[in-house]
Chain A
Amino acid sequence: MSRCQIKSIKKDEFQIVSFIGHIDEAFMQVATTIPASENYIFSFKNLISINSSGIREWILYTQKLKSKKVVLTDCPKVFIDQASMVEGFIPSHFQVQSFYVPYFNEETDAEKLVLVQYGTEFTKDKNSIPHEFTDTDGLKYEIDIIPSKYFKFLTKS
């Protein structure tokens, strides 16, 4: 039984699909229940993990969407890690609308995830995602990934 739950609603020309839980070896069981559409918005806000078999199942699923318009939103670190490591994890015609970037404060060990948006912090041609920022309490956070690795998917897709 799949550990991924799917919630899907139709809005205008888009089928908006939320992936909740874990993408694993049984992912295709639920992926095939996603209603057919020409345009999709996939939200990963509540995605917890993708295991090794889930990576394969996700790629197989995306191959069924070759002629569709697909926008990806709220992509968590577990998703972006794979996107940057596995060629074809995000097919070139998919568009990443937003994804999370992890930051860290050395003094307090605090972690923060910041959602960055297409058109604001990044586009296909530019990446102006800040490498550090100061929060409202005056705490300084530095980027907590290796930018050349984590942002690799931006140049691939």
Chain B
Amino acid sequence: MYTLTNEQRSEIIKSHLAQKKSSYNMAGNLKEYLLLNTKHDCILVEDNLKPQQIIQMCLDRNIKHIIQNSKIPLIDKINSIDEIIAHPLKFMTFNQKFYPDNDTQICFGFNSKDDRSELVNRVLNFFEIDPKNHNTEHIPKSVEELIMNAQVHAPKIGDFKSPHNMSFLAEKKGANIALSVFDDYGSMNINKFLNKILNTYTIGTADSINYGAGGAGLGSSIIFQSAEALYIAVLPKRITRVTIITPIKVRAKDREIEQKTIHIINSL
């Protein structure tokens, strides 16, 4: 349903490349992508890639940007990454908003001791989401995981002694929302994060569970499943930002045909 023809995809890429803000390359399929000059950021614009495939491609081929057309149109996603690649350090701050022309947003700081239920409810109230509705359940699920990662897991990975700053940014535009969590531990290992997602597809959720110290190893997968587009950015020992973009309402049958997008932002 969301699949574009090769001609449509090429046309969108061609018209975008003529007005892009910085030096990066774009390809409309994997074959073309592999021929790109990797000196600059390279973006793969594809179709019909399953969630597992895009994670596999990030890990195996070191691809950092894969965009697919879905309920959120391809051109909107290209415009977002265009801005981010032009100003990668800005992305590590609240100044990089997904819907900058829109005042429908909230931003709040939190710490590891704050009641997570209250934080999640704050976001749900802002979006006027009834927690009992099943077509919006991916919002509380993902907010819970994003905040738990920052509150519980991020400090442990780096063995930090003192509390750090954490913040949440929620934005809304029309039927879509962006949820971002920031922490200034900068301790996320992106490859581990991606591998945990991949494991749930390759060996199954049950066998992916970590029964040792640390997280269960399922949070990254829950976040990815909740997202139409996932953005992960780490400035080691300084900042981690994880953002998901998703329609507010997603029916189970929509999720089946959704085409996911992923971006790994290199801010260095």
Selected contact of A146 from candidates B140, B141, B256, CB within 8 Å: B256
Which B residues are CB-close (under 8 A) to A48?
131
A55-B253 in contact (CB<8A): no
Contact flags B207-240 to A (C-beta < 8 A → 1, else 0): 1011100011111011000000000000000000
Q: Is A139 an interface residue (CB 8 A)?
A: no
Q: Is B251 an interface residue (CB 8 A)?
A: yes
Q: Please, how many residues of chain B have a CB less than 8 angstroms from a CB on the other chain?
A: 34
B206-A87 in contact (CB<8A): yes
Selected contact of A111 from candidates B135, B222, B256, CB within 8 Å: B135
Interface of B is mostly: helix
A146-B253 in contact (CB<8A): yes
Q: Is A49 an interface residue (CB 8 A)?
A: yes
B211-A52 in contact (CB<8A): no
A113-B134 in contact (CB<8A): yes
A56-B137 in contact (CB<8A): no
Q: Is B83 an interface residue (CB 8 A)?
A: no
Which A residues are CB-close (under 8 A) to B117?
3, 21-22
A53-B148 in contact (CB<8A): yes
- Complex Cα distance A48/B141, Å? 10
Q: A25-B148, A144-B135 are in contact. List 19 more A-B contacts (CB 8 A).
A: A22-B144, A48-B131, A51-B219, A52-B145, A52-B216, A53-B152, A53-B215, A56-B218, A77-B137, A78-B137, A78-B141, A87-B204, A87-B205, A87-B207, A89-B206, A111-B134, A111-B135, A113-B134, A144-B253
